[in-house]
Amino acid sequence: MIRSLLRLNPIGMPRMLSVCAVGLTFACALPTTVEAGEKGKFKGKSVLVITQFHEIKTPEDNPAKSVQIGEWDGVVFNEAGKAFLDNARYQGVWKGDGRGAGECFKTFTSEAGQVFVSCVGQAQADGSDEGTLVLTGGTGAYKGIKGKGTYRLKMVADRVMWDILEWEYEIP
């Protein structure tokens, strides 16, 4: 396609080269790697869609009310614009009960590898879910990663939510 465009407009070659040079300069300026021995703080924001949800009600008068399980899928952005998990796929599975207690497992997948996280949380009066998380390992450039932090998950529609994640991490 590019050749046919250049054949139609030979003057377009310098312009196209300029555009490519600017694009390459911009791409090189973006962080693209994760280094061994890296330590840092991560603050990410994400958008998630619930892909599955199941609820089993307890017998009447049981204070737990129900047990729920579900999964979500979405994307997370590194708020600082760094390479670490920026634009990574964010998947999770969770279980909870009618009292607001819950646990989850989160998986973040980027070109550099995957990061695995476990979490424990509690529903809040404002409808959000807040809790702690622990980085339990990874693959690729994130192999052996460890860390801990917090999250705050909030429903914004029937099956859509956002999540704010903050943690400190270390990659061996």
Nearest 5°: phi and psi at 82? -85, 165
Predicted pLDDT at 112? 96
Closest of 165, 136, 172 to residue 42, by C-alpha: 165
Who contacts 134 (Cβ-Cβ below 8 Å, separation ≥6)?
A: 117, 118, 119, 147, 148
Predicted pLDDT at 98? 87
Parse the chain into domains and list their residue ranges. Answer: 1-30, 39-170
Contact 113, 85 (CB under 8 A): no
Amino acid (1-letter code) at residue 130: E
Nearest 5°: phi and psi at 120? -135, 130
- Rounded CA gap, 118 and 98, in Å? 20
Q: What is the pTM of this model?
A: 0.78
- Identify the CATH class of 39-170: mainly beta
Going by the DSSP 8-state scheme, the letter that residue 143 receives in this structure is T
- Rounded CA gap, 94 and 9, in Å? 56
pLDDT in tens, the chain (172 residues): 333 333 334 444 343 333 333 333 333 334 446 666 889 999 999 999 999 999 999 999 888 889 999 999 999 999 999 999 999 999 999 999 988 999 999 999 999 999 999 999 999 999 899 999 999 999 999 999 999 999 999 999 999 999 999 999 999 9
- Rounded CA gap, 50 and 161, in Å? 8
List the structure tokens of 27.
């791409």
List the structure tokens of 62.
């049981």
Q: Which residue has the tokens 């973006």?
A: 30
Nearest 5°: phi and psi at 13? -60, -55
